[in-house]
């Protein structure tokens, strides 16, 4: 376990390296485009607005309620999906560096998570514009979004680390993981408002809606979406997230301790 923790510590000390590489990843992706990384924000905004208008009509909800709900959900989901999908390929994609540049494997995980943080910050521009068009009843509790995002980042790291190691050994898990993430998008209250179904006059609908509580993504999204939309905080969401954080990192450290040295051979 000492070598595992040392890997994480040394990787963190190399933050100038992975910080630069993460930023270069974004610049490289949009190097020939006119707007550059702004495309990240525009594509997400267009999709969120289109779905907001569509589902506001389907559920007969006011646009000023449905659109902000979807928009913030999209921003948070983008970070979660990015950490999982790209995490499953984090070591495979960095095969050349792993084989020829002796460095802790955690460097590649930090690089990935930092890149997703930059994407998230880019997308917050859309949230700021949304606040101008559809003002929200923000309270001082909106500051809770900061520790909530820190928790999201901490969880994104162990997810990418664990998914990366396992998927490097079993390559078939990468497309399976991506398919599951796509499915979970529809099962998570992102485009549909959870409370609308929970408070449905139809008892059967309300009962089925409660099954969403078993969806861990619901809790991660709500600890950020609620404060950003001025809604009341629910303690149960924070408890679930904290439990998942402890259990997830424990599992990731155990897997890393046993298989960290084999990653270079598996890639």
Number of domains in the chain: 1
- Which residues form the domain of 23? 2-266
Min mean pLDDT across 106-115, 134-143, 172-181 is at 134-143
Comparing 21 with 155, the larger pLDDT belongs to 155
Do residues 162 and 156 lie in contact, with contact meaning Cβ atoms separated by under 8 Å? Answer: no
Give the per-residue pLDDT at 201: 80
Among 202, 200, 201, 195, CA closest to 234: 195
99 contacts: CB under 8 Å, gap ≥ 6: 264, 267
Q: Is 1 a residue whose pLDDT tops 90?
A: no
pTM: 0.91
Do residues 41 and 26 lie in contact, with contact meaning Cβ atoms separated by under 8 Å? Answer: no
Span 26-40, average pLDDT? 68
Give the per-residue pLDDT at 239: 96
Q: Tell me how many helices (H) and strands (E) the chain has.
A: 14, 0
Comparing 207 with 235, the larger pLDDT belongs to 235
Span 250-266, average pLDDT? 88
Give the per-residue pLDDT at 59: 85
Q: Is 36 a residue whose pLDDT tops 80?
A: no
Give the per-residue pLDDT at 101: 75
How far apart are alpha carbons 32 and 181 in whole angstroms? 30
Q: What is the mean pLDDT of the chain?
A: 88
């Amino acid at each position: 376990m000492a070598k595992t923790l040392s890997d994480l510590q040394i990787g963190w000390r190399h933050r100038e390296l992975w910080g630069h590489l993460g930023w270069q990843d974004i610049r490289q992706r949009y190097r020939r485009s006119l707007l550059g990384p702004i495309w990240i924000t525009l594509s997400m905004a267009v999709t969120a607005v289109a779905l907001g208008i569509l589902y506001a009509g389907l559920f007969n909800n006011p646009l000023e309620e449905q659109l902000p709900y979807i928009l913030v959900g999209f921003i948070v989901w983008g970070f979660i999906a990015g950490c999982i999908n790209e995490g499953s390929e984090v070591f495979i994609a960095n095969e050349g560096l792993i084989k020829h540049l002796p460095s802790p494997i955690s460097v590649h995980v930090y690089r990935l998570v930092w890149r997703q943080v930059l994407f998230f910050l880019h997308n917050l521009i859309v949230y700021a514009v949304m606040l101008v068009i559809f003002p929200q009843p923000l309270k001082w509790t909106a500051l809770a979004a900061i520790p909530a995002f820190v928790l999201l980042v901490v969880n994104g790291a162990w997810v990418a680390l664990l998914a990366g190691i396992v998927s490097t050994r079993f390559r078939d898990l990468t497309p399976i993981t991506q398919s599951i993430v796509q499915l979970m998008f529809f099962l998570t209250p992102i485009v549909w408002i959870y409370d609308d179904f929970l408070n449905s006059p139809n008892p059967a609908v309300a009962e089925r809606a409660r099954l969403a509580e078993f969806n861990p993504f619901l809790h991660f999204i709500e600890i950020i979406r609620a404060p950003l939309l001025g809604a009341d905080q629910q303690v149960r969401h924070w408890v679930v997230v904290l439990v998942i954080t402890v259990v997830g990192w424990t599992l990731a450290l155990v897997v890393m301790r046993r298989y960290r040295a084999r990653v270079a051979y598996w890639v």
